[in-house]
Structure formats: structure tokens, C-alpha cells
Chains A and B, each alone.
Chain A
Amino acid sequence: QSALTQPASVSGSPGQSITISCTGTSSDVSGYNYVSWYQQYPGKAPQVIIYDVDNRPSGVSNRFSASKSDNTASLTISRLRSEDEAHYYCCSFTNTNSLETVVFGGGTKLTVL
């Protein structure tokens, strides 16, 4: 299974909004409503910020939102803050009728200018 496609980097200024895309196929992104997004700071473990396409875990800022259309999922971060500077990874769970298979995107480095 090939990795999902994300832009290598995005940037924005404080207060602005940015969107990170995540493109897959009918075998993953568009075939299942199980896209999740993870934020990772250098030297730290990833943390989930979105699950099941557009759900935020308790404690995650409502500045983070997500959606999916056909083969592409998207993460939007509104009102950018310096602490948002991190790597972001999309992820799709597939074959969920049996023991699941997972594919990650290549990751996107967000720079807050």
C-alpha cells in the first residue's frame, strides 16, 4: 500500500489559516471514513488531533478542523499560533472488517513565519 500524499511543507503567519491536503485512493481515504491527523514536535511522540475524518479529541483546540472529499482529506488550522509549528501526518485505517491496515502520509512541516 503506497503512502498518502501530503505537501512537504506549508507556512503561514500568526493569525492566518492554512490547509494541509492528504491524497489517497479508493482503497484508503475515499473507501473509509477513518482518516486521522497527528501533530508531532521534534523529539516527541505524535499526538492525535483529528480522528474519524473530522472529530476532535477532548482537549484539542477548535482551531483544528478537517474534512474529506473523494480521495483527498484536508486539515485546516485557523488563527495560526507559534506553537502550531510542527510536523503533521495524515493516516488512513483500512480493511476494518478484519484486523486493520494503516497507511500514513509522508508528513508536512508547518512553519509559522
Chain B
Amino acid sequence: MQLVQSGAEVKRPGASVKVACKASGFIFTDNNIHWVRQAPGQGLEWMGCINPHSGDTNNVQKFEGRVTLTRDTSIRTAYMELSRLTSDDTAVYYCAKRPPHDYAMDVWGQGTTVTVSS
């Protein structure tokens, strides 16, 4: 089982970034995909999750509509798009999956570094 994320990104303030998370080795539509970020030297922050089967999403209100979670089941890939970037969004972004019958994130992607700088 594996989640492989897209590569590092450097963005200007105000821009958007879209991170991909490709799944392999498990039934993609049976596992909710979560997105977690970690700012430099800080702890883990949950951003939201998507049910790949239904497409239903649940996002943290903190991001005030800046986060969009989508998926493409034909290529077993989940996406996290974050808009109106500021320097506070500089972080490593992780995707992780929750298996169908347990409540934990059992497989994590390698992380995608997003740097927001003018």
C-alpha cells in the first residue's frame, strides 16, 4: 500500500497550489483520504478529508473556503488545492488514508513541500 505525492512547489502570495496524491496497493474507493499539513518546526494540522467513493468532503472551517478536495477514481488520485496563498501556508502537506474499519491514518504520503514567497 502506498501513497505517492507530487513534487515540491514554490508559489507567490495570492496564488493557488494543487497537490496530487496517487494511491496504489489498496482499493482507493474504500479508504477516506485525509490531508494534514505541518508548518516548519510546528505540529500536525488536519485540513480535511474526502470519501473517494462518493466525493463527499469535510474541511476545517479555518481555511474559509480556500481548500478544495477532489479525486479522480480513474487514476486513483486525490487532490488538495489551496487558494489565496500567504506565507503562513508554507508547510509540508501530507495525504494519508483511513482504512474502512478503523479510525487512524495507516498509510501516509511522503509529503509535498509548498513554499510561499514573494
Q: Do A and B share a complex?
A: yes
Could you list which residues of chain A lie within 8 angstroms of chain B, going by C-beta atoms?
Answer: 3, 32, 34, 36, 38, 40, 45-48, 50-52, 55, 57, 87, 89, 91, 93, 95-96, 98-107
Which of A45, A50, A104 touches B43 (beta carbons < 8 Å)? A104
Bound-state CA distance A87–B38 (Å) is 13
CB atoms of A45 and B108 under 8 A apart: yes
- Among residues of A, the one whose C-beta sits closest to the C-beta of B62 is A1
- A contact residues around B98 at 8 Å (CB): 93, 100
Encoded as 1 (CB less than 8 Å from any A CB) or 0, chain B from 1 to 40 comes to 0000000000000000000000000000000101010000
- Count: A-B pairs, CB below 8 Å: 73
CB atoms of A46 and B43 under 8 A apart: no
Tally of B interface residues using CB under 8 Å: 24
Could you list which residues of chain B lie within 8 angstroms of chain A, going by C-beta atoms?
Answer: 32, 34, 36, 43-46, 49, 51, 56-58, 94, 96, 98, 102-106, 108-111
Are A48 and B44 CB-contacts (below 8 A) given A99-B32, A100-B32? no
Question: Nearest chain B CB to A39's CB is how many angstroms away?
Answer: 11
Bound-state CA distance A28–B94 (Å) is 22
CB atoms of B103 and A100 under 8 A apart: yes
